[in-house]
Chain A
Amino acid sequence: MKTKFILAIAIFILAAAGAFYFLRPHTFHGTVIQSPDPSHDFKLTGVNGDVSLSDYRGKLVLIYFGYTFCPDICPATLANVAQALRDMGDEKASEIQTIMISLDPERDTPEKLAAYVTHFHPTFIGITGSQDDLITITTLYGIFFQKKEGSSATDYLIDHTATLMVIDREGYLKLVFPFGVTSKEIAEDLEYMLRQ
């Protein structure tokens, strides 16, 4: 009787440990935001006309602020997102829309933006707008940006906050990834959000 009792306790502890491992809540790699309000909507211009955040209600939306002349940070981030989508497969990727908002409307025409972002993944879209519109949107999304001198008058660079944001299906800002997040980490968080 005593042996059976000890065995039952041991099995229970093992099962509890197993249950904890398999049922533990997902730990996000990005920082989870619990905003009570939907994310600020915007309307900017892409190669196929105006694009609003609210157009993609029902999908997960990844928003990244950058520019096509960006030497390293932007292509590295977009390449990681593209790799994450490829790893997740077409079906899951079709539920996700990635939007790059260009902070450089002087040089990034909608056509140039479209060519740039689709180089990373065919589903990506690139949009931009007036300087005033961009200042309002970046202010509200916590993105600081500022021109800095390049090697010639037209070859300027733009310092900018390099976070990657995820808006959930209902339009709420849910996750903020820092620069340097890997494609695997992005994929794990997105897959969890798609299951919810």
Chain B
Amino acid sequence: MNKYILNIVYGLGALIVISALAFKIFQPIQVLPRMQLAPAFLLVDQDNRPLTSEDLRGQFVIYSFTYTNCPAPCYNINDTVKEIQSRLGEVELNNIPVTFVTLSIDPERDTAEVLNAYAQTLGADTTRWKFATTTNQTLLKTVIGVGLETYYEKKEDGSFAFDPAFVLVDGLGIVRAEYRYATEVSNTDRILRHLGVLADEVKNSTGTNKLAYEAAHLFLCYAP
């Protein structure tokens, strides 16, 4: 009888190891890592109205960074935003809104009026694509440089050296993905795919499914 019990214990052990390996290898559920808390802020948008991090709760937010005097094509940042916006219909978002926030790193020149004119030039729908900044340089550096971990620095000639990154934040205010242009030819497909992965998680990770989603996080089953 002891032999049977021993066999069952060995069998269970093997089952657990095989299940864990299979979960890791086949990744039946993919997620995005919960990297860190996105920074909180009170900025001013293109309509000279306050834009706060709390206003963006419950939405997926894609942050990008630029300044209006950046010589065209300025890393194609705006073209990428436009392409993602035009292709959002390809992704099942389960009615979760997606907002784009382009933060200006040049608040001295990029006043609300300038940002408004810039948005109009781009043909941006400012209900879904916000442009914002703050004249509080310390706060701006804390939000962009530290909170969103995106490098920028003013050069002597008034232009800026900066990382033309995109940062994806979920509805809970958690950074879920970063896209660095320097290493990516085009991030559009990847960002769209990731929006779908996030929307799936919001929809499905409730009740008993929550355990499976937490296992996906535990086993680092990250969407490529």
Contacts and interface: CB of A to CB of B under 8 A. Distances in A.
Q: State whether these chains interact.
A: yes
A8 B184 CA distance: 55
Contacts of B34: 31-34
A136 B140 CA distance: 10
A43 B215 CA distance: 36
B12 A141 contact: no
A34 B37 contact: no
B180 to A, nearest CB: 15
A194 interface: no
Nearest to A4: B4
Nearest to A143: B40
Contact of B40 (A27, A36, A141): A141
Contact of B39 (A16, A34, A140, A145): A140
B112 to A, nearest CB: 19
A182 B42 CA distance: 30
Interface in A3-32: 8, 11-12, 15-16, 19, 23-25, 27-28, 31-32
A27 B16 contact: no
A19 B16 CA distance: 9
Tell me whether chain B's interface is mostly helix, strand or loop, or mixed: helix
Interface stretch (B91-99, B141-149, B154-162): B141-149
Contacts of A161: 40, 54
A141 B37 contact: yes
Given A135-B142, A136-B142, 9 more contacts: A12-B8, A12-B12, A16-B15, A24-B211, A32-B217, A33-B34, A35-B35, A139-B146, A176-B174
Interface of B: 4, 8, 11-12, 15-16, 33-42, 52-54, 138-139, 142-143, 146-147, 172-174, 210-211, 214-215, 217-218
B36 A144 contact: no
A28 B215 CA distance: 11
Contact of B211 (A27, A135, A136): A27
A142 B57 CA distance: 11
Contacts of A36: 35
Given A25-B214, A28-B214, A138 B8 contact: no
A136 B40 CA distance: 10
A144 B53 contact: yes
28 contacts: A11-B8, A12-B8, A12-B11, A19-B12, A19-B16, A27-B210, A31-B34, A33-B34, A33-B36, A35-B35, A37-B36, A40-B146, A135-B139, A135-B142, A136-B138, A139-B40, A139-B143, A139-B147, A140-B146, A141-B37, A144-B40, A144-B42, A144-B53, A145-B40, A146-B42, A161-B40, A176-B37, A176-B172
A173 interface: yes
The 7 closest A-B pairs by CB, nearest first: A142-B37, A144-B40, A35-B36, A144-B54, A139-B39, A139-B142, A33-B34
